[in-house]
Amino acid sequence: MHRPANVDNDRQLAEILEALSVISSHIPLYWPMHPRILARTGKGAIPLSGQIHIVEPLGYFDFLCLQASSAMVLTDSGGIQEETTVLGVPCLTLRDKTERPATIEYGTNRLAGTRKETILEAWNQSLAHPRKGQIPPLWDGKATLRCHAVLRKFPLCQSAVELQTQ
């Protein structure tokens, strides 16, 4: 979690942490804490369940490895929603809306909201009705090739594209 709406709002953060505390009584939670929230929890202002394992922030590849080996990821990050989709790992997004609707449409992600009640409802739905998600069309790692082909069709871009490929 790193979004100001989740991290800087004491009441909203308390709701999320209460839900995480309940979830952590069923499955271990490992939380590589973003510096934004680490600064707040480090001051003892936010009580955390002993079942939530705080991990120092991770580098990109270590974080991808952690996601790939997870049973589920809970996040408020749009980028992480996309990464879990590609990795085939179920995701609960701790927000009321997302700018990554394809992750929901193709079944890899569920919006959980930010209240304890809605997060636990999404958690229970994930357990009761797991989805077999899929990678959305065109998420095949070939976007550069498609862009290159389109740009070559325009005379002004054609010379620039040819220079780039030399």
Residue type, 20: L
**pLDDT average, residue stretch 27-46:** 77
pTM: 0.83
Beta pairing partners, 52: 29
Please give the pLDDT value at position 151: 81
34 catalytic per annotation: no
Signed CA dihedral, 105, 132, 28, 21: sign only? positive
At residue 60, φ and ψ (nearest 5 deg) are: -55, -50
**Residue-averaged pLDDT of the chain:** 87
- Stronger pLDDT, 165 or 27, i.e. the higher one: 27
40-77 residue pLDDT tens: 766 555 667 778 888 888 999 999 999 999 999 999 99
How many Å apart are CA 67 and CA 84, to the nearest integer? 7
**Domains of the chain in sequence order:** 4-135 (3.40.50.2000), 137-166 (no CATH)
Residue type, 143: A
132-147 residue pLDDT tens: 888 898 888 898 999 8
* DSSP labels, 57-115: ---HHHHHHHHHT-S-EEES-HHHHHHHHHHT--EEESSS--S-HHHHHTTSEEE--SS
Active-site annotation holder among 2, 53, 129, 148: 2
- Stronger pLDDT, 78 or 45, i.e. the higher one: 78
The residue among 64, 61, 111 whose CA lies nearest residue 88 is 64
User: To the nearest whole percent, how much of the chain has pLDDT over 70?
Assistant: 89
